[in-house]
Amino acid sequence: MRFSRNIIAFAATILAVEAQTNGFNSGSTKTDGSVKVQSDFEAEFRAMQNLPNATCFNSVRLFTSIQGGTPNTPISAFAAAIATKTTILLGLWASAGEAIIQNEIQAILSAVDQFGPSFTDLVVGISVGSEDLYRDSSIAAQQGNILPGVGSTVLVDYIGQVRKALASTALSSKGIGHVDTWTSWVNGTDSPVINAVDWIGVDAYPYFENTLDNGVSNGKSLLSSALSKVDAVASGKPVWITETGWPTSGKTENKGVPSIANAETYWQDVYCTIAGTTYVWWYILDDAGSSPSFGVVPAIGSAPYYDLTCPAGSAGANVCGTGQSSSSSSASASASGSSSVASATAPGTTAATATASVVETPASGYASGTAVPVNPSSSAATVAPYPVSSGAAGSAAPSGYAPSGTGAAGASGSAGSGAGSGAGASATSSGSAASATPSSYTGAADKVGAAAGAGFLALLGLAAAL
């Protein structure tokens, strides 16, 4: 009976927030690698809510629930969300070990106690992990991605721990899910995770599908194909779009050309088609300094790079048109919360078939502006947990860490020096201290950059590291 009541409550939550859930991904650090505080999050959330001709954005997806530089203090994004009435897709980082999962859980429990309904009423769902299955896959290994992930057995255990911990709280009715690359969901080996979750989060970037005809004109078709494949294995569970977008600048990936004009085309073709038909968290509001750069604005508070107005009659115009409030609803809104993949296919086109070897998304947890908790026992606990942005300064790495066998070079590693190579490659490379780092990351590691090179690798060897 408890299970049935939770399912009913989850369905009711979907009905209540479906038309409102349009948002952006939000990391725990700024583009310079420093930790965001409440005022930073508030400025970001208000900028999102006041985008010209796109007034429906009022939700954020978080990657961690822990404030940067603390063991398990609730992230200040929670207080900022309350102040700005922004809904939240909670995130718990799942690739840093058991101790960090417990700290993530504790941060959420502390927020429930501290803020009560003003916090819990804003929670849209709870994501245990981000692209962990991809990083644990053979594809990642083949691409030279040494960044840690976890397999389905560990992830299912973590999901169970989160359910148990939240069972007696006001968050017990919130759907628990996991976010990963679409290729991870359809590879046939991760069905235990599908069985364990209430919803499925999909990260999909046609720009990175560089073994296919991935020009922006095919972007909608490729995304539709990805969502259709995930829907086919989702056992009827809601499929949410947790990351997608097109870069304004960066490296060309086959026919995927970063430009402001192409980013606008992708917005018109994709966002304006799917708005109101499923939950969407676009990537990203601001990631200045990253390469490729997906930011919609050059800086928080600045005007967008391109016009966000959706064409008259589109789903986006119905829910996110000029002057419309965030409570506007689309006539085509789906009560189930699953993705409307049919409407995402361009008329007269055939959805391309993606190969299993293609990984089309940046690594969420390593993307510019994203951070994870640091080891509370470390003397570097007040330092930004790891370098962010492509080629960010190596000094962002905690000074107390050094890679095995290479001394403390990571404390002062220099900027990454170029783009990786090979299938799925994008902007990363080797900072001068990155002697233990592959010269190119591919696929999902594209946003890392080799800043602080060896110092970042040292983090990988610690329980609190990514």
Which residues are tagged catalytic? 131, 243
C-alpha span between 244 and 207 (Å, rounded)? 9
Report the phi/psi class of residue 85: left, alpha or beta, with left for phi > 0 and alpha for psi in -120 to 50.
Answer: left
C-alpha span between 446 and 365 (Å, rounded)? 11
Dihedral sign, CA of 441, 364, 22, 51? negative
Dihedral sign, CA of 246, 252, 256, 258? positive
Output the 3-class SS for 342-389: HHHCCCCCCCCCCCCCCCCCCCHHHCCCCCCCCCCCCCCCCCCCCCCC
CB contact at 8 A, 80 and 45: yes
All residues at 6 or more sequence positions from 443 whose CB lies less than 8 Å from its CB, including other chains: 134, 139, 140, 143, 145, 208, 358, 359, 360, 361, 423, 424, 425
All residues at 6 or more sequence positions from 380 whose CB lies less than 8 Å from its CB, including other chains: 374, 398, 399, 400, 401
Q: What DSSP designation does 288 have?
A: T
CB contact at 8 A, 455 and 410: yes
59, β-bridge pairs: 23, 87
Burial of 175 (0-12, 13-18, 19+ CB in 10 A): buried
Residue 202 Cα distances to 73, 177, 241, 268, angstroms: 28, 11, 5, 20
C-alpha span between 360 and 426 (Å, rounded)? 10
The one-letter code for the residue type at 29 is T
Chain Cα centroid distance, residue 245: 11
Q: In terms of Cα–Cα distance, which of 389, 456, 445, 451 is closest to 140? A: 445
